[in-house]
């Protein structure tokens, strides 16, 4: 969604732009808003969006100025996200080095720890929202939002090697994680490090296509424990994907659906299977002014749903591969 902005002051711009340039700017901005409005209307009908949300979105689209440009990722937001990641990774490094509480569930007091492990072995997913604090004060990301979720699953009958085979089979991730992953490809591979490309598809009220790249590295601790990190290095929103007019928007100068995405994985073989934990930290644009009550829950649900889908798809891929190997 885009924040409503003040209409362009064309009298002020006349000193810098000739009439042709002004007309081009108007056409470009109006075209983007019209396309965005059309995509929401079509998706609302297709997905049978609740009437309250449909009404709110239509009111916003009707009252938003025609010359509403894409949002911009601010330097302060990037710096705030980097600080948040730095503090979170410091906690992760301490947990891995300590070894005793490798998984999040290991930190729980009894009897809840035993209960949560029983839930995992029964097939449930344990997910929670996290928040990293800075003792020096609140981390600011102006114009943006940080989403931080952690989820854990159990894959019965699997070995650590089975799970890592799926995790590092990047060229087939478009099969394992469809429809969220449209294309996947290993760009570089050296030792335990990879550079990976994904074309992602995010669909809720509208459909968004993103071309993304990540640096991925896996670390083996012992025969039954490993961890990895996937750090986004480039995320570009794609307009008119698959059409003759397909083009990428400049990263950080787009609709702000996803600006950063880091994923941290842990794998523990135990109890005749493998526990898989994924901690995801992402950065998106903030909630449009005045619409927090309406679209806030929707915007914040997407990171959690994506995490749950990724974990469930990982389990399905491992079990599917194992079933075919046993035939």
- The answer to whether position 251 is within a domain reads yes
Q: Is 207 helix (H, G, I), strand (E, B) or coil?
A: strand
Q: Evaluate whether residue 5 is within a structural domain.
A: no
Lowest pLDDT segment from 52-66, 142-156, 209-223, 263-277: 52-66
**324 CB burial (10 A radius; 0-12, 13-18, 19+):** exposed
- What global pTM score does this model have? 0.80
CA dist 95 to 101, 102, 112, 262, 300, Å? 6, 6, 20, 18, 27
The Cα–Cα gap between 300 and 287 comes to 9
Helix (H) or strand (E) holding 267: strand 260-270
Find residue 71's DSSP bridge partners.
254
Q: Looking at the 3D structure of the chain, how many domains does it have? A: 2
Say if residue 6's pLDDT is above 70: no
Q: What is the pLDDT of residue 298?
A: 54
Q: Is residue 117 part of a domain?
A: yes
Give residue 186's domain range: 72-325
Percent of the chain at pLDDT exceeding 90: 66
Helix (H) or strand (E) holding 31: helix 19-47
Mean pLDDT confidence for 158-185 = 98
Q: Give the model's pLDDT for residue 293.
A: 61
Which band of pLDDT confidence, cut at 50, 70 and 90, is reported for residue 296?
Answer: low
**Which range is least confidently modeled, 15-24, 167-176, 286-295?**
15-24
- Higher pLDDT pick, 8 / 292: 292
Domain limit, last residue, from 32, 49, 69: 69
Does position 47 have pLDDT exceeding 50, yes or no? no
The answer on 192 and 51 residing in a single domain is: no
179 and 228 part of one domain: yes
In a domain, 306, yes or no: yes
Q: Give yes or no: residues 29 and 124 share one domain.
A: no
Same domain membership, residue 177 and residue 89:
yes
Of the listed ranges 132-136, 155-159, 220-224, the least confidently predicted one is: 132-136
Among the candidates 22, 43, 69, a domain finishes at 69
Tell whether 166 and 273 lie within a shared domain: yes
* Residue linked to tokens 């004060």: 137
Asked which of 54, 69, 84 is the last residue of a domain, the reply is: 69
Compute the average pLDDT of residues 159-182: 98
* Residue 225 β-bridge partners: 222, 268
Q: Is residue 240 helix, strand or coil? A: coil
- What band does 136 get if pLDDT is binned at 50, 70 and 90? confident
Per-residue model confidence (pLDDT) at position 292:
66
Q: Which ranges in the chain belong to alpha helices (H)? A: 10-13, 19-47, 51-63, 75-98, 112-121, 160-167, 173-176, 292-325
Average pLDDT over residues 224-240: 97
Q: Which helix (DSSP H) or strand (DSSP E) does residue 41 occupy?
A: helix 19-47
């Amino acid at each position: 969604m885009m924040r409503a902005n003040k209409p362009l002051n064309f009298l002020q711009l006349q000193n810098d732009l000739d009439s042709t340039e002004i007309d081009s700017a108007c056409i470009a901005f109006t075209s983007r808003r019209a396309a965005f409005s059309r995509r929401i209307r079509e998706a609302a009908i297709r997905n049978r969006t609740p009437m309250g949300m449909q009404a709110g979105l239509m009111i916003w689209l009707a009252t938003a100025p025609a010359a509403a440009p894409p949002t911009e990722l601010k330097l302060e937001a990037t710096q705030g996200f980097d600080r948040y990641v730095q503090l979170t990774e410091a906690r992760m490094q301490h947990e891995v080095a300590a070894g005793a509480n490798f998984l999040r569930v290991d930190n729980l007091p009894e009897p809840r720890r035993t209960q949560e492990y029983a839930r995992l072995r029964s097939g449930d997913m344990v997910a929670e929202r996290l928040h990293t604090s800075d003792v020096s004060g609140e981390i600011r990301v102006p114009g943006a939002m940080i989403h931080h979720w952690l989820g854990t699953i159990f894959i019965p009958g699997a070995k650590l090697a089975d799970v890592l085979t799926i995790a590092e089979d990047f060229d087939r991730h478009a099969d394992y994680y469809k429809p969220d992953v449209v294309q996947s490809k290993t760009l570089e591979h050296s030792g335990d490090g990879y550079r990976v490309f994904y074309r992602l598809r995010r669909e809720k009220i509208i459909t968004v296509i993103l071309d993304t790249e990540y640096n991925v590295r896996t670390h083996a601790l012992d025969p039954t424990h490993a961890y990895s990190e996937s750090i986004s290095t480039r995320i570009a929103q794609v307009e008119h994907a698959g059409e003759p007019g397909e083009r990428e928007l400049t990263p950080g100068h787009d609709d702000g659906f996803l600006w950063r995405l880091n994923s941290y994985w842990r794998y523990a073989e135990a109890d005749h299977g493998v526990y898989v934990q994924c901690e995801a930290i992402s950065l998106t644009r903030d909630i449009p002014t005045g619409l927090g009550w309406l679209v806030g829950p929707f915007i914040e649900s997407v990171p959690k749903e994506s995490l749950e889908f990724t974990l469930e798809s990982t389990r399905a891929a491992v079990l599917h591969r194992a079933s075919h190997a046993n035939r």
